[in-house]
Amino acid sequence: MKRLTLVAFLVLFFLSACGAPATAAPEAPNLPFVVTISPEAKPFKPSLKTPEPSATEQAALPPVQATATRPSPVPPTSTRPPTSTPYIPTPTETLLPPLELPTERRNAPALVAWTGLPTYPGDSDPGLLFRVDYDPDIWAQTEGNFGAIVLGNRQLEYCTITPWEGRGLPADWKVEHEFRTIGSASFDVSTVAFQGMVKFVSYVGGDRRVLTGFQVTFNDQKEKCLQDAEVIFGTLRSLSAVPTMTPISTPEGLTPPISAGQAGTPTP
């Protein structure tokens, strides 16, 4: 009888376990001898593949229109050579023909006078001329390329002394000034250069009664030309433009004859 009761109890127990709804299992007590093993959690990895639409979805999509792809324009390749700075040759200075100098006279004096109007008349006393003396073996008076009377060096071609009155110069020309005393006259010496090359030297000076200027030009042997020219500038002095009679003492009542050399002799 007891065995039948036990069997019936077991049958009822199994039937109640199968038919009862699932409920949350009660938390296991925190027992040191009980180990709970939970299933390993796998990390979620998103799929990078785009799911393909189904046949029904593909039928609902609009038709794809084909578009023509134009090639990207390619810039034309230039066949011209690269541009560079054009070569400009340095202009060569054309020299004027050398001056024709007169033949030296026989028995010429040791020094010959060269007189003329001062190139700075406003800074000179009225009625005065300038005068310099030159060696006829070295220099000669002649007409220059521009019509003025100049001195030409017999030994150095293109070495000339021309009256100078000053003028403006281009901006790219350089001038160096120097005050010097040559002989008994004071001069403002200006050395004029272009692109590092001296073109001419001017001398402006006088004896405090007359002020005049000279320009010394040259091609070769600049130092020798300037040295010969400064020998002449050392003799610069003023001269009266109006000749005066040279007084001669004669006995009273007699009129002395006037020779051609005495009449009109200028007073230095």
Residue extents of the structural domains in the chain: 112-240
Secondary structure (DSSP) of the chain: -HHHHHHHHHHHHHHHHHHSPP-PPPPPP--TT----PPPPPPP----SPPPPPHHHHHHSPPPPP-PPPPPPPPPPP-SPPP-PPP-PPPPPPPPPPP-PPPPPTT--S-EEEEE--S-GGGS-TTEEEEEEE-TTTEEEEE-TTS-EEEEESSSTT-EEEE-------TTEEEEEEEEEETTEEEEEEEEEETTEEEEEEEEEESSS-EEEEEEE-SS-HHHHHHHHHHHHTT-EEEESS--PPP----TT------TTTTTPPP-
pLDDT in tens, 191-232: 999 988 999 999 999 999 999 999 999 988 899 999 999 999
pTM of this structure: 0.56
Contact yes or no for 219/248 (Cβ under 8 A)? no
The tens place of each residue's pLDDT in the chain, 268 residues long, gives: 656 666 666 666 666 555 555 554 455 455 454 455 555 555 555 555 556 666 666 666 666 555 555 656 655 555 555 555 544 444 455 667 777 888 888 888 999 999 999 999 999 999 999 999 999 999 999 988 777 889 999 999 899 999 998 877 888 899 999 999 999 999 999 999 998 899 999 999 999 999 999 999 998 889 999 999 999 999 999 999 876 554 444 444 444 444 444 444 444 4
pLDDT score at 96: 72
Q: Cα dihedral sign for 18, 19, 23, 27?
A: negative
pLDDT in tens, 170-197: 888 999 999 999 999 999 999 999 988 9
pLDDT score at 98: 74
CATH topology for 112-240 is Protein Transport Mog1p; Chain A (3.40.1000)
Say how far residue 238 (Cα) sits from the centre of its chain: 45
**Per-position b or e across 145-154, b if 16+ CB within 10 A of its CB:** eeeeebbbbb
pLDDT score at 87: 45
pLDDT score at 210: 95
pLDDT score at 74: 57
pLDDT score at 192: 94
pLDDT score at 38: 54
pLDDT score at 36: 53
| Residue 63: how many other CB atoms lie within 10 Å | 5
